[in-house]
Homo-oligomer: A and B are copies of this chain.
Amino acid sequence: MVEHTVKAFDTDIGRLRGLISQMGGMAEAAIANAILALQRSDLVLAEEVRAGDKAVDALEAEVERLSVRIIALRAPMANDLREVVAALKIANVVERIADYAKNIAKRVPLIESEDRIEPISVLPAMAKMASAMVREALDAFAARDPAKALEVCASDSALDDFYDSIFRTLVTYMVENPKTIGQVAHLLFVAKNLERIGDHATNVAEMVYFAATGTRMGERDRGRTQD
């Protein structure tokens, strides 16, 4: 009987993990496509990213239903409960990450212009860095690997520095090209969205660390303090 329950719990948890890794893949693709749409002023691709966000929302709702059912039916204790609650929270964060990608996509039509806005070119590298953090955080979750989770947190300060540098670049560009201020203001938000994606990947990593070890990551482990 106990074995049967344990097996059922493992199946449920496996299902949860599968759903979250599916969500993570969708969020990564959304980030990449949103930035591609921005670079190419591709309104069709931007609209696809927007529309695709509903699928991520649906998966999050599925994770929520399944987590609540597991808690209510199997009344898991200690480690197992921590794992289910982590899955519920991580799904919520991944949904927010996908939301940031959607917000980037929504700016594509606002930035469109006959003249190419030069500083767009600095964003794809930042997007890659943010997206890699998301993937690594979810890999850490899949592998229950607290050491990998710590690495994700360490890369966040590099992403923050990247953001600060892009912020200054964009402001300088605005000063020198006042006609573009309206469009470049949207790029400021895009850069900020990427920086927030990194913060959320860090959040996921912190939850993975806690679920795996039962202790919170120390302030020192996390590098610079997060927003």
Contact = CB atoms under 8 A, between A and B. Distances in A.
Interface stretch (A7-15, A24-32, A137-145, A181-189): A181-189
Contact of A227 (B92, B106, B179, B188): B106
A204 to B, nearest CB: 15
Interface stretch (A39-47, A67-75, A121-129, A151-159): A67-75
A1 interface: no
Interface in A183-212: 185, 188-189, 192
A171 B182 contact: yes
Interface residues of A, number: 28
A106 B85 CA distance: 30
A181 B64 CA distance: 43
Contact of A102 (B68, B174, B175, B227): B227
A103 interface: yes
A42 B64 CA distance: 42
A162 interface: no
Interface of A: 64, 68, 71-73, 75-76, 81, 85, 92, 99, 102-103, 106, 167, 170-171, 174-175, 178-179, 181-182, 185, 188-189, 192, 227
Nearest to A96: B96
Contacts of A179: 175
A59 to B, nearest CB: 16
Contacts of A92: 92
Contact of A181 (B75, B106, B171): B171
18 contacts: A71-B71, A72-B75, A72-B76, A72-B81, A75-B75, A92-B92, A102-B227, A103-B227, A106-B227, A167-B185, A171-B185, A174-B181, A175-B178, A175-B179, A178-B178, A185-B188, A189-B189, A189-B192
A145 to B, nearest CB: 24
A174 B172 CA distance: 12
A72 B69 CA distance: 10
A102 B175 CA distance: 28
Given A72-B76, A181-B181, 15 more contacts: A68-B81, A68-B85, A71-B71, A72-B72, A92-B92, A99-B227, A102-B227, A167-B185, A170-B185, A171-B182, A174-B174, A175-B178, A175-B179, A178-B178, A185-B185
